Amino acid sequence: MASNVLELTFLSRNKTIQMNKKSELRVISISGLESSQYSINTINGNQDGTIITHVKLNPREITITGDVKKNSNEDINRQQMISFFNPKFQGELRVNRNGNEKKISYVVSSFRFTNAKMSEWLQFEIVLDCPNPYFSSIDNFGKNIADITKQFAFPLAIIAGKGKIMGYKTYSNNVSLFNDGDCATGCEIKIKVTKGTVSNPKICLNNKFLQVNVDLKAGDELVINTNIRQKSIKLNGENVIQKINRKSSFFELNVGDNVMTYESDDGYENMSINVYFYKKYLGV
């Protein structure tokens, strides 16, 4: 028999509100969890019909109706909701639908109680606007490109006079990244210089590349973010986006298999590189 679980978790300003079967706030209905509305751009040709030039997902609207359990906490819950669903602050909604959990950022478009009789259970309606229409995975997915392969285990035996290799660095300088979301997604790349120096590090993804023209020393950390609306390049926390190679692209991971490689003009073996990305989904 199929389960029927729906749990909503709202997060904003280090505060949390939950709505599920066991909480004092109950969901009666919800809409907008499926795919967002589309805008389809076309041009007229010399043939019958039109030619599709672009398909765009519009901002998502999520509407939630529910009620507040009538008990001694009713007024407390009412005041908490009024304070929490403040249109001046952004929030994050996490949806758990039968074990399938996704998250999305929102701003409150409308919040109101829909009945006025004191003797009845309080009923409410919340409308959320989501400028970025995609849901994403709860956790990011990470991979170390330049990894260390361990070469020992316990009990450990070392022959006198010969020593033992404790581990070696993998210099294949490429890694396969699999994106099984519904669309392409950006990523965050953290480059740490472990020793010596590195000159002009370069990250390649499929047929595109991004290179930063900087000289790095041991302890430096270069962070590259290719996500839409978050694109940035920072060296030890300082903005250095002006150092980007002009032929570079802020690439995205395509749906399916992706191959990422790294290199530099000098010292590529001195880099530790970690890649993180969230998978994007049309709905939940």
Query: pLDDT by residue for the chain (284 residues), tens digit each?
Result: 456 889 999 999 999 999 999 999 999 999 999 977 888 888 887 778 788 877 888 999 999 999 999 999 999 999 999 999 999 999 999 999 999 999 999 999 999 999 878 888 999 999 999 999 999 999 988 888 765 434 333 444 444 554 443 343 445 577 889 999 999 999 999 999 999 999 999 999 999 999 999 999 999 999 999 999 899 999 999 999 999 999 999 999 999 999 999 999 999 899 999 999 999 999 99
d(CA 171, CA 259): 15
Amino acid at 256: G
d(CA 85, CA 141): 30
Residue 77 is classified by DSSP as H
pLDDT for position 172 = 56
For the question of whether the overall pTM of this predicted structure is more than 0.85, the answer is no
Written as six digits, the tokens of 171 are: 């210099």
Q: Where are the beta strands (DSSP E) in 98-252?
A: 100-113, 122-130, 135-137, 141-144, 148-150, 167-169, 174-179, 188-193, 197-199, 202-205, 208-211, 215-217, 221-225, 232-235, 238-239
d(CA 210, CA 264): 11
Torsion of CA 261, 267, 271, 273, to 10 degrees: -20
pLDDT for position 1 = 45
CB 175 within 8 A of CB 143: yes
Residue 105 phi, psi dihedral angles, 5° rounding: -85, 150
